[in-house]
Amino acid sequence: MAEVIVLDSPEDAGRFVAAHIAAQVRREPTFTLGVATGSTPLPVYEALRAESAAGTDFSRMTAFALDEYVGLPAGHVESYRSVVDREVTEPLGLDAARVHVPDGSLDGIETAGERYEAALDAHGGVDLQLLGIGRTGHLGFNEPGSSFGSLTRVKTLTERTRIDNARFFDSLDDVPIHCVTQGLGTILRARHLVLLAFGAGKAEALAAAVEGPVSASMPGSAIQLHQRVTVVIDREAAASLEYRDYYRWAQDHKPQWQGI
Ligand code: GLP
């Protein structure tokens, strides 16, 4: 079962997760972080910048992004490559050669998935994968119906996801229809999954992912198949969890020696 940690605010959650990542990096500077995009992981990145300012050296870390839009012009400000560079690569001083994002350019898109899988395999996978969850229950861009065995490939976004993400673009028409995303099978190979969710708008999808039936109709439920999952959420996102009192109890009685 996932460990569920309910904190007071996204900022507290960001500091909590960043402190764990920074401790791992101090222990193993070549740590590999799986980075997510969207608004959810931003408090973690902000807190990682504070860890960097306080002296943790992230320069030898490797990063792999979950997904990318297909067909955005190179350097588009809302491409996930640009977001990762802006939020992670540059402020944390990572070597750009060690920051991997699926290639969403139209030229060669047919092989983008297998090239990304090959890069992940050659590197030896991801130590800790940050995840948000979409309101459709998607992880990365694995929309409902995605196979739990799926690998990185081109997917078609749902209208719900395009509408949700239209806030980052000038209009809905500007939101790409296709993406390249790590598959659920790819995500499940990461050695530790950290799923974040904040706000009432995520409560239903979060509860379905953590406690609902394991089903391709709820891609987030794939986390139930992983041996090491930490769910870090605020009170609003925890509102629909049936066993939240137990999660609180477990936190209050957590053995001191246990990390996340
Ligand atoms: C995005 C990303 C996901 C993210 C999700 C939720 O489109 N592809 O990785 O977790 O949708 O987004 P947000 O965090 O902005 O709510």
d(CA 123, CA 167): 34
pTM to 2 decimal places: 0.97
* pLDDT for 146: 97
Distance 161 CA to ligand 1 centre (A): 9
> Does 36 contact ligand 1 (Cβ within 6 A)?
yes
The answer to whether 232 touches 7, Cβ cutoff 8 Å, is yes
Long-range contacts (CB closer than 8 Å, 24 or more residues apart) made by 71-79:
71/104, 71/105, 71/106, 71/176, 71/178, 72/104, 72/176, 74/105, 78/168, 78/169, 79/104
Chain center to CA of 4? 16
d(CA 116, CA 241): 35
The answer to whether 178 touches 70, Cβ cutoff 8 Å, is yes
Mean pLDDT of 102-124: 98
> Does 181 contact ligand 1 (Cβ within 6 A)?
no
Tokens of 127: 């130590």
In whole numbers, what is the pLDDT of the chain averaged over residues?
97
The answer to whether 172 touches 163, Cβ cutoff 8 Å, is yes
204 pLDDT exceeds 90?
A: yes
State the SS3 of 219-257: HHHHHHHCCCEEEEEECCCCCCCCCHHHHHHHHHCCCCC
209 pLDDT exceeds 80?
A: yes
Distance 22 CA to ligand 1 centre (A): 23
CA atoms within 13 A on the CB side of 24: 19
Ligand 1 atom nearest to CA at 132: 10
> Does 67 contact ligand 1 (Cβ within 6 A)?
yes
Of the candidates 230, 228, 221, 227, which has an alpha carbon nearest to the alpha carbon of residue 251?
Answer: 230
* pLDDT for 1: 74
pLDDT digit string, tens, across residues 149-194: 999 999 999 999 999 999 999 999 999 999 999 999 999 999 999 9
The answer to whether 199 touches 237, Cβ cutoff 8 Å, is yes
> Does 66 contact ligand 1 (Cβ within 6 A)?
yes
Contacts of 144 (CB under 8 A, 6+ apart): 136, 137, 138, 158, 216, 217, 218, 219
d(CA 143, CA 161): 9
CB atoms within 10 A of CB 115: 14
Mean pLDDT of 251-255: 95
Contacts of 220 (CB under 8 A, 6+ apart): 133, 137, 138, 139, 195, 205, 206, 208, 209, 210
Of the candidates 52, 53, 43, which has an alpha carbon nearest to the alpha carbon of residue 16?
Answer: 43
d(CA 95, CA 89): 7
pLDDT digit string, tens, across residues 95-109: 999 999 999 999 999
Using only C-alpha atoms, the chain has a radius of gyration, in whole angstroms, of 17
